Amino acid sequence: MTDTSPHESAHTRAPASQRSRTAEMLEHAKRLGKMIPVTIDGNPIEVPLGTSVLEAAQRLGIRIPTLCYHEDLCLAGVCRVCVVQIEGQRTLQAACSYPITAPINVSTHTAKVRRARRHVIDLLLSAHVGECYTCSRNNHCELQDLAAEYGVDAFRFGRRETRRYPIDASSHAVVRDMDKCVLCRRCVRTCIDLQEVGVLEALRRGARTKIGTFMDKPLGSVVCISCGQCINRCPTGALRANDPTDDVWDAIDDPDKHVVIQTAPSPRAAIGECFGLEPGNAITFKLNSALRRCGFDRVFDTNFAADLTIMEEGVELLLRLKRALVDRDSTAALPQLTSCSPGWVKFLEHFYPEYIPNLSTAKSPQQMFGALLKTYYTDLNGLDPRNVVTVALMPCSAKKFECNRPEMCASGFKDVDYGLTTRELGKMIREAGVDPLKLPKSDFDDPFGTATGSGVIFGTTGGVMEAALRTVLELVTGLKVEKFFDHADIVPVRGFEGVRHVEIPVTQVGPVPPLVAHLFNNWKWLKGATLKVGVAHGTANAKKVMEDVKAGGQFSQCHFIEFMACPGGCLGGGGQPTPTSPAIRAARAKAIYAEDRSYTIRKSHENPAILKVYDEFLTDGPCGHRSHKLLHTTYTPRGKYIE
């Protein structure tokens, strides 16, 4: 086994995403298109030079079991579960990492292959500590599935009965149980290659190998960004989210507590997978009924707060542009960086702290909603905020960290009490004996029941940017955004490319709308300008953009950049159902855009519930004194009128 020194940090290694020279050559060969004939279990096929045996088998519809392999990650070939027999070769080969460079004849399920796989599984089980029935991954564990597939009915190499490692629950987001680890290194490759954070690595060698952090410190003491992507790719229960469902049940069962839940669009597009639906089927309004069956007193739509975020963040951008272009204020921090992804915010705080001033001060929709629920909502309903318990259904394990940040108490109380992942809520619904697929649809509760399509698309990469552009373009030009983009679909910011850059000319300006007339007198200073924006998802791509900004490159000229910590955005969050793959994330995105198109109102500034909140409660408007106190992380004075 290979080893990484525990004294070697992520910053002293070569860039983790770099492949070996051999891998680069094979990829180049595949691009050249040279075809190689291969026979797998008697089935002939031609594949490009360098294609792995596993990929070739998948094209033929032949299943080869895997454990360390994952579609999102670079190859490791360490588990040996995928071994196959190649004619003329003495030893078995790992299908996931064996490149086809010459014609070969492969057998995937001979007696020798089956026996080897069974030995590997038995050896993994011999070092696996813990009872399956009490494991968070029971009936959804890849090792458990392999044991059943290969007829494991006894511990043939014995079983470890005593724990070797303490459970690490130091993080608000992620719990580590290394006695359930199978050393597949998926989490290591996720953290180093996919996210380029580098918190996890293989420590020591041989039988003493374990997965740990720098100097084997607790996860809560290192630079983990809490994104939970390692959880999504772990095949066993070695990694799981820090689960507060028992506390939520206690609150629901307490007659003195008023328990409300807000649900984000990404979990609604994915939670059906927990109940047998194929990816890409949103069950938004059936989920509302299920939540009421579980005992929640009110069910609210996070999309409302997403619309509120667009108003605050969009106006903040205009204020920064005014300071830079009109006031010639060199301290105006541009580009403005989005702040609604807590994993991304934590990444910036750890690795690019000098750019913290560039972060939007606007809180995430989750935290904005929490602040309103314990102020505006309690005032409307005559409730004591001490007895109101706010729960947030989110796709992201980092949301657990976010709601526990000490500054998130603008209401005078903890704004959001508990963050639930999609997986955790699915478990709660099953525990309540509810099948959401069989329930009638029901709407969200007032006074936050109205939302827009802009709030929905927050769930996918590029969605925050698209929602912001829909609003900012209409506020500034006085024209419908449909004049610029068909059906208000701002396609250039959509897609799963790692990084996107878009320029939008502002060819005309209109009158200042009443909602922001307290801040601006006119938009003449924007006429003829070109709005430059960027989008990045996954922190490896965020790193590329931030390094470009530091170097004075293309993205340093942007005015606004959207960052999401997770691949695909929130729909690929660390709290979403497993497994995850590019195809699954694409299906969830399709569901989100379909829901966006179903809304009559698709722009945040046209949401009547938002306008009502500004009229009744946030009376000094977006980025006003009260808004800054409740909805932003820092207070800054309002902008002055432009004369």
- pLDDT tens digit string along 255-277? 999 999 999 999 999 999 999 99
Cis ω for the linkage preceding 279 (within 30 of 0) = no
**The predicted structure's pLDDT at residue 629:** 94
Instruction: Enumerate the CATH 3.40.950.10 domain ranges in the chain, comma separated.
Output: 309-362+451-631
- Active-site hit among 273, 312, 316, 474: 316
Structure tokens at 489: 């679909």
Beta carbons of 258 and 382 less than 8 angstroms apart: no
**The predicted structure's pLDDT at residue 25:** 55
402 as an active site residue: the answer is yes
Q: Report residue 8: phi and psi, to 5°.
A: -105, 115
pLDDT at 13 over 90: no
Coil vs helix vs strand at 86: strand
**The predicted structure's pLDDT at residue 3:** 39
Interhelix angle 422-431/284-294, nearest 10 degrees: 50
**Nearest-angstrom CA–CA distance, 77 and 185:** 10
- Cα–Cα distances (Å) from 45 to 31, 41, 517, in that order, read 18, 11, 67
Please calculate the CA angle 414-420-425 and round it to the nearest 5 degrees.
Answer: 145
Question: 309-362+451-631: what fold?
Answer: Fe-only Hydrogenase (Larger Subunit); Chain L, domain 3 (3.40.950)
The candidate with the shortest Cα–Cα distance to 524, out of 509, 504, 513, is 509
604 as an active site residue: the answer is no
**The predicted structure's pLDDT at residue 29:** 60
- Active-site hit among 396, 570, 595, 604: 570
Please calculate the CA angle 169-171-176 and round it to the nearest 5 degrees.
Answer: 45
Interhelix angle 608-616/302-325, nearest 10 degrees: 70
- Active-site hit among 374, 399, 543, 603: 399
**The predicted structure's pLDDT at residue 513:** 96
Task: Summarize pLDDT for 174-220 with one digit per residue, the tens.
Answer: 999 999 999 999 999 999 999 999 999 999 988 899 999 999 999 99
Band (pLDDT 50/70/90 cuts) for residue 634 is confident
Structure tokens at 375: 């102020």
Task: Summarize pLDDT for 565-616 with one digit per residue, the tens.
Answer: 999 999 999 999 999 999 999 999 999 999 999 999 999 999 999 999 999 9
- Cα–Cα distances (Å) from 351 to 225, 345, 539, 546, in that order, read 10, 10, 11, 10
Find the distance separating the first CA and the last CA of the chain, reported in whole Å.
69
- Active-site hit among 407, 482, 547, 616: 407
Task: Name 24's Cβ contacts closer than 8 Å, sequence gap at least 6.
Answer: none
Average pLDDT value for residue range 58-86: 96
Other beta carbons within 10 angstroms of residue 305's beta carbon come to 31
Structure tokens at 333: 């921090």
pTM across the whole model = 0.92
**The predicted structure's pLDDT at residue 1:** 34
**Nearest-angstrom CA–CA distance, 236 and 138:** 9
**Nearest-angstrom CA–CA distance, 186 and 143:** 14
399 as an active site residue: the answer is yes
474 as an active site residue: the answer is no
**Nearest-angstrom CA–CA distance, 391 and 23:** 46
Instruction: Enumerate the CATH 3.40.50.1780 domain ranges in the chain, comma separated.
Output: 245-304+366-438
**The predicted structure's pLDDT at residue 48:** 93
Structure tokens at 167: 């459970």
Q: pLDDT > 90: what percent of the chain?
A: 90
Task: Summarize pLDDT for 140-182 with one digit per residue, the tens.
Answer: 999 999 999 999 989 999 988 899 999 999 999 999 999 999 9
CB-count burial class (<10 Å; 0-12, 13-18, 19+) for 77 = middle
Structure tokens at 6: 């525990």
pLDDT at 23 over 70: no
For all residues of the chain together, what is the average pLDDT? 93
69-73: long-range pairs with CB below 8 Å, 24+: 69/96, 70/186, 70/189, 70/233, 71/581, 71/582, 72/190, 72/194, 72/233, 72/567, 72/580, 72/581, 72/582, 73/186, 73/189, 73/190, 73/193, 73/194, 73/233
pLDDT at 284 over 80: yes
pLDDT at 31 over 80: no
**The predicted structure's pLDDT at residue 30:** 60
340 as an active site residue: the answer is yes
- Active-site hit among 196, 402, 466, 474: 402
313 as an active site residue: the answer is yes
Task: Summarize pLDDT for 494-529 with one digit per residue, the tens.
Answer: 999 999 999 999 999 999 999 999 999 999 999 999
- Active-site hit among 196, 313, 466, 474: 313
Q: Which CATH architecture has domain 245-304+366-438?
A: 3-Layer(aba) Sandwich (3.40)
- Active-site hit among 82, 187, 340, 623: 340
Q: What is the 3-state secondary structure (H, E, C) of 112-161?
A: HHHHHHHHHHHHHHHCCCCCHHHCCCCCCCHHHHHHHHCCCCCCCCCCCC
Average pLDDT value for residue range 458-477: 97
**The predicted structure's pLDDT at residue 34:** 86
**Nearest-angstrom CA–CA distance, 330 and 369:** 33
